[in-house]
Amino acid sequence: MSLIIDIHGHYTTEPEGHMAFRAQQLDAVENSLASPAYPNITDDEIIESIEQNQLRVIRERGADVTVFSPRASGMGHHLGDAQTSIEWTRHSNDLIKRVVDLFPRNFVGVCQLPQSPGADLNSSIAELERCVTELGFVGCNLNPDPSGGNWQGPPLTDRSWYPFFEKMCELDVPAMIHVSGSCNPNFHATGAHYLNADTTAFMQFLQGDLFADFPALRFVIPHGGGAVPYHWGRYRGLAMRMGKPDPGEHILPNVCFDTCVYHLPGIELLLDVIPIDNILFASEMLGAVRGADPETGIPWDDTKQYLDALDLSAEDRAKVFEGNARRIYPLLDKRLSELGIG
Amino acid sequence: MSLIIDIHGHYTTEPEGHMAFRAQQLDAVENSLASPAYPNITDDEIIESIEQNQLRVIRERGADVTVFSPRASGMGHHLGDAQTSIEWTRHSNDLIKRVVDLFPRNFVGVCQLPQSPGADLNSSIAELERCVTELGFVGCNLNPDPSGGNWQGPPLTDRSWYPFFEKMCELDVPAMIHVSGSCNPNFHATGAHYLNADTTAFMQFLQGDLFADFPALRFVIPHGGGAVPYHWGRYRGLAMRMGKPDPGEHILPNVCFDTCVYHLPGIELLLDVIPIDNILFASEMLGAVRGADPETGIPWDDTKQYLDALDLSAEDRAKVFEGNARRIYPLLDKRLSELGIG
């Protein structure tokens, strides 16, 4: 049996003090007050928040290792300013590091970045380097829309992103493309903005030639790739009409999708359409979609159950649950080997 | 055998003079020149543009009637100003009327609306009324983002849309929710903006209670519902968590999806997940995705072939190809009956 690696978990059950600090911090920016001090958070608080939530569910469902990052909707790059984003991001990543240290066999860290609308990526480069070289993290979450649903920045293929991509390649870490909350009333965060961003990023890659410039750059598009696998024929046809190679050659060498699709027919389509090497097991629990389908009793985000219901060969199963993750996240592979896991 | 009604076709092969007028019109707004005169377009030009394109493909593929509207990307509500939008829209709808009059057994009209960012909906109400009562059109295309990818207006559940919805109910016509081009470099029009808008509109309906206020209001979400059917479990779970009824009760009595999904696995998922009463045959040809899959030889947008490949009962097939369209578009039903078609 392969390991079961969930590459998409957020710390959505943070100790109260962490979120209270954030509220105070934003209040301080808005009212020109002094920055609040970060509170004392005990190990016991962290242990309790993890034991009773993520780790409880992991044990019930039978996963081994979760690639863990700060709450996505909490990144809030559009809130406060560039300096508050830097401070908030460091505290958020340091908290993930504490989770990893307390549960070294269960969690591996991925960082959020101190992006801010209109700011350059220097502080994101520095924070990525800190998290990978000092904290032992294996990847990052990159927000393609730090303006929070207003989409005021340049597409991911713009050269302004290139210094960050160079650092990713140098450190040999992938990025999950993940927006944060939406301040645009048109876009519900988890019901529209997340999926739209996934779809949008893929199409930006299709239009551009980013991976000609960065052959080693790797992205994970979460939430099963937004609308992309469902419309795979549209993308193949658009690529052809635009004189681009088929997305299978043009994009998939550098881009994978996770399995955060919360019903069996969606998972079936994903596995049917997208090559097995490009699919990474993930559940995003505890995430936006909690509870269980009243018709089946299956928790919406128990994506392992949907995958188990498919007739996957042992080899394919090992790729989706372990092998692809170790390939895309080489520092995860290294860490698991050091720990003697898998 | 049932009729085959394609509810989603745009006049993407307009005579040159029509598009030249638009270019001159926008140039006139930008440079404060006098409005250009609309050119003389002959019947022969229209006949040729239709015979050699839409009608040729319709005959090859075997459809009967197409619900036809102006080119979606050409609506350009974000270009020019409110007055140019009114003039451009009238010319565009009048041109559709000429197509319908020249090919009364093949095409039925649906109108674009003279929306404009920040403008009220009075001119859209007037144009809808003109198109339905004077031109014999059976529905309209409603743009949920007249700002063209900047999403600066209110969501569809906002009360500012209500006067328009009242007129739709009074005239008993549905709207297809369809954005136009994108002026936001993040969003490719047909590869991102279209699908994002479909997903976004659905989630707006899920969050709101629009159909409690308008029980008879009907929408078609094109392009197979954007990301929605692929993520149907996510939407069911989000609805439950938000204390809303299941989307099957909350939204589907008033919202249908079309079949503009350009590969068999996508069509299979759509038919698997969404009730048969909520699916309307459509191809959007000649649309954004032209050409054929080199692996199968099937034209991407020949969605009838995908549907034919499914094991649909005669009853279900009749619903998707004819019955649902006649139910959702009662004026189409009336028109077909008057013509003695079907």
Radius of gyration for chain A, computed over Cα atoms and rounded to the nearest angstrom? 19
B265/A269 CB distance under 8 A: yes
Average pLDDT along chain A: 97
List pLDDT tens digits, range A10-60. 999 999 999 999 999 999 999 999 999 999 999 999 999 999 999 999 999
- Please count the residues of chain A: 342
Q: Which entry of A284, A315, A322, A338 is annotated as an active-site residue?
A: A284
Chain A CB contacts of B238 under 8 Å are 190-191, 288-289
Of A234, A294, A300, Cβ closest to residue B262 = A234
Q: Which residues does residue B258 pair with via DSSP β-bridges, in sequence order?
A: B280
Residues of A in contact with B244 (CB under 8 A): none
> Of the listed B14, B127, B284, B322, which one is catalytic?
B284
Residue A233 has its nearest CB partner, among B200, B203, B300, at B300
pLDDT tens track for A119-154: 999 999 999 999 999 999 999 999 999 999 999 999
Active site residue A249: no
Task: Pick A154's closest partner by Cβ from B185, B262, B300.
Answer: B185
High-pLDDT (> 70) share of chain B, %: 100
Q: Which residues of B touch A151 (CB under 8 A)?
A: 149-151, 184, 186-187
What pLDDT is stored for residue A1 in this prediction?
A: 73
- On chain A, the residues whose CB falls within 8 A of the CB of B144 are 186
B40 CB contacts (<8 Å, ≥6 apart)? B17
Predicted confidence (pLDDT) per residue in B38-60, tens digit:
999 999 999 999 999 999 999 99
Contact A200 B192 (CB under 8 A): yes
Region B179-187 average pLDDT: 98
Separation in Å, CA A60 to CA A10, A50, A63, A305, A310: 18, 14, 8, 12, 20
Q: Looking at beta carbons, which residues of chain A come within 8 Å of B232?
A: 263, 265-266
Contact: A234, B186; criterion CB under 8 Å: no
Residues of A in contact with B161 (CB under 8 A): none
Partners of residue A255 on adjacent β-strands:
A219
Distance from CA of B205 to the nearest CA of A (A): 11
Could you read off the pLDDT of A198-212 as tens digits, one per residue? 999 999 999 999 999
Q: Does residue A5 carry a pLDDT above 80?
A: yes
pTM over the 0.90 mark: yes
* Å between B290 CA and nearest CA of chain A: 7
Contact B290 A241 (CB under 8 A): yes
Among candidates B155, B196, B240 on the partner chain, residue whose Cβ is nearest the Cβ of A200: B196
- Check CB contact under 8 Å for B230 and A232: no
pLDDT per residue as tens digits for the range A228-249: 999 999 999 999 999 999 999 9
What's the sign of the alpha-carbon dihedral B41, B43, B44, B49? positive
Determine the distance in angstroms separating the CA of B10 from the nearest CA of chain A, rounded to an integer.
17
pLDDT score recorded for residue B144: 98
CA separation for the pair A196, A194 (Å, rounded): 6
CB contact under 8 A, A234 and B289: yes
Contacts of B340 (CB under 8 A, 6+ apart): none
User: Residue B9: in which H helix or E strand, if any?
Assistant: strand B5-11
- Span A90-99, mean pLDDT? 98
Which chain B residues are within 8 Å of A266, Cβ to Cβ?
A: 230-233, 269
Secondary structure E strands in B87-144: 107-109, 140-142
Scanning the structure block, which residue is given the tokens 């990474």? A280
What is the Cα–Cα distance from A112 to A98, expressed in whole angstroms?
15
Expressed in angstroms, the distance from the first to the final Cα of chain A is: 9
- What's the Cα-to-Cα distance from A26 to each of A36, A88, A142, A288, rounded to whole Å? 10, 10, 22, 23
What distance in Å separates residue A237's CA from the closest CA in chain B?
A: 5
Residues B120, B126, B129, B135: is their CA dihedral positive or negative? negative
Beta-carbon count within 10 A of B58 CB: 22
Average pLDDT score over chain B = 97
A272 to B265: CB separation less than 8 angstroms, yes or no: yes
Nearest to residue A157, comparing CAs of B185, B148, B182?
B185
**Given an 8 Å threshold on Cβ–Cβ distance, is B227 in contact with A195?**
yes
Whether the predicted pLDDT of B143 surpasses 90: yes
B80: alpha, beta or left, given left = phi > 0 and alpha = psi -120 to 50?
Answer: left
Could you tell me which of B215, B234, B216 has the C-alpha nearest to residue B226?
Answer: B234
- At B306, the pLDDT band (50, 70, 90 cuts) reads very high
Task: Give the residue-averaged pLDDT of B166-177.
Answer: 98
Contacts of A196 in chain B (CB under 8 A): 192, 196, 199-200, 227
ipTM above 0.85, yes or no: yes
pLDDT above 90 (res A220):
yes
Contact A229, A257 (CB under 8 A): yes
Q: What percent of chain A has pLDDT over 90?
A: 97
Whether residue B207 and residue A185 make contact (CB cut-off 8 A), yes or no, is no
DSSP assigned state of B234 = H
Q: For residue B342, is pLDDT > 80?
A: no
Identify from B190, B207, B230 which residue to disrupt to test chain A contact, counting A C-beta atoms within 10 A and taking the largest count.
B230
User: What number is the average pLDDT over the span B208-235?
Assistant: 98
Residue B299, C-beta contacts closer than 8 angstroms, at least 6 positions apart: B285, B290, B291, B292, B293, B305
Residue of A nearest to B208 (CA): A188
Q: Which of B151, B188, B237 sits opposite A291 (nearest CB)?
A: B237
Contact B231 A223 (CB under 8 A): yes
Task: With a cut of 90, say whether residue A288 has pLDDT above it.
Answer: no
A vs B: CB pairs below 8 A? 196
Q: What is the pLDDT of residue B92?
A: 98
Mean pLDDT of A60-81: 96
